[in-house]
Chain A
């Protein structure tokens, strides 16, 4: 019996980031408007696989998701063993812009979740004209920390187990078991110190509160969708952020947490399809 192949295709590219070559892995499916998806901290692009298998989306969108350097199948840069990984706002912004430029994506839509949602806000601040629309999932300009990230990378605690256990509470109780555990598996697979390094951007370097008022949604529409069970980036955090952004559209997703696209793909679909239809129609 022939294998039932999925339409998702994975490729590697070499991308220069911060003047260093990086071997980057990405996946894509579909044709049409480029839709670049940014995964959460400590995870990888597999979080978006359900979007890539959704013909209602791939009929109109070329859905792409890259694994950030140090994540998934992308490698850390040469010499990584002598440094501590720390994601910064500047490096993350450069990464997204460089990925889109390398693939010659014309005015793509960028949709990011969590740290991806935060960087989407910075793209709106610094590069709005490059994008057709921006979508922030679980996005806010700042959030109150709720644990000490030092626990994420120490030799006497299993990094994968503690990362997954910490974020497990961010998944809505209604999310299907299979999706919950697939989401957590990616956290269990993360490299040592990578989740912690991502959170350096989230907690230390990427406080966008002073700059958030600079977003002009007339240049690039901005959609913000947050799950009601996300107690890390709460619906109130997103609403507070949106208050400083005239024209930003906020949706609270019922029965979703911090990982809507992977923890409950069917529920997320109900919210994201209308947004993608509107972007396509505009």
Chain B
């Protein structure tokens, strides 16, 4: 059994982070500039919140489907795995140094990117901004 399953505070944190990640479709789709910049993107990728995968379908820059996993044998172009601690710090309105960028997270070992990196790198700013979108929720909550 995982630590998160037995530790009430870890469970609460996971639930709070899940609530944020599950607002990604709305946050992205209401951001007309982000959608414009993603106009050429049509793919499925995966975001990991700890051990929980989310499958994200992007069509013309909009998130057209968003599904919490795991789903057996589901494929995706690339996968971005991030620890719960890293998501929490990354989504602060003003993140601490070293927790403020996807590649800062990979450098420090708090995130891992796997799969076909070509669509990610070819549209890197789009995906960075997509992943950072829940920061707006932290700002609004203040």
Task: Please list the residues of chain A having a beta carbon within 8 angstroms of any beta carbon in chain B.
Answer: 144, 146-147, 151, 156-158, 161-162, 164-166, 168-170, 172-174, 228-229, 231, 234
Query: Given the complex of chains A and B, what is the CA–CA distance between A95 and B84 in angstroms?
Result: 48
Q: Which residue of chain B is the closest to A184 with respect to CB atoms?
A: B125
On whether the beta carbons of B124 and A162 are closer than 8 Å, the reply is: yes
Which of the residues B94, B100, B108, B121 comes within 8 Å of A169, measured between beta carbons?
Answer: B100
CB <8 Å contact, A231 and B107: yes
User: Can you identify 19 A-B contacts, CB atoms within 8 angstroms?
Assistant: A147-B103, A151-B121, A156-B118, A158-B122, A161-B124, A161-B125, A162-B121, A165-B125, A166-B103, A166-B124, A168-B125, A169-B100, A169-B101, A169-B102, A169-B128, A172-B100, A229-B97, A231-B104, A231-B108
Does chain A have a CB within 8 A of B98?
yes
B83 interfacial by beta-carbon distance below 8 Å: no
CB distance from B124 to the nearest CB of A (A): 4
Shortest C-beta distance, B134 to chain A (Å), equals: 14
- Smallest CB gap from A170: residue in B: B101
Residues facing A in B59-87 (CB within 8 A) are none
By a CB distance below 8 angstroms, the chain A residues around B95 are 173
Task: Say yes or no for B106: interface residue by CB 8 A criterion.
Answer: yes
Across the two chains, which residue of chain B brings its CB closest to A145? B107
Chain B nearest CB from A166 CB (Å) reads 7
Nearest CB in chain A to that of B92: its residue: A173
Most buried by B among A147, A156, A169, A170: A169
Residues A144 and B107 in contact, CB atoms below 8 Å apart: yes
Q: Name the B residues within 8 Å of A231 (CB-CB).
A: 97-98, 101, 103-104, 107-108
Contact between chains at B101 and A165 (CB < 8 Å): no
Q: Please, which residue of chain B has its CB at the minimum distance from the CB of A232?
A: B107
* Cβ contact within 8 Å between A157 and B118: yes
Residues on A with C-beta less than 8 A from B104 are: 169, 231
> How many angstroms from the CA of A227 to the CA of B94 in the assembled complex?
15
CA distance A109 to B117 in the complex (A): 43
Give A151 to B116 CA distance when docked, in angstroms. Answer: 13
Interfacial chain B residues near A156, Cβ < 8 Å? 118, 122
Q: Given the complex, which residues of A lie within 8 Å of B118, measured CB to CB?
A: 156-157
Complex CA distance for A231 and B101, rounded to whole angstroms: 9
Distance, CA A157 to CA B100, complexed state (A) = 24
Q: Which of B100-142 contact A (CB under 8 A)?
A: 100-104, 106-108, 117-118, 121-122, 124-125, 128
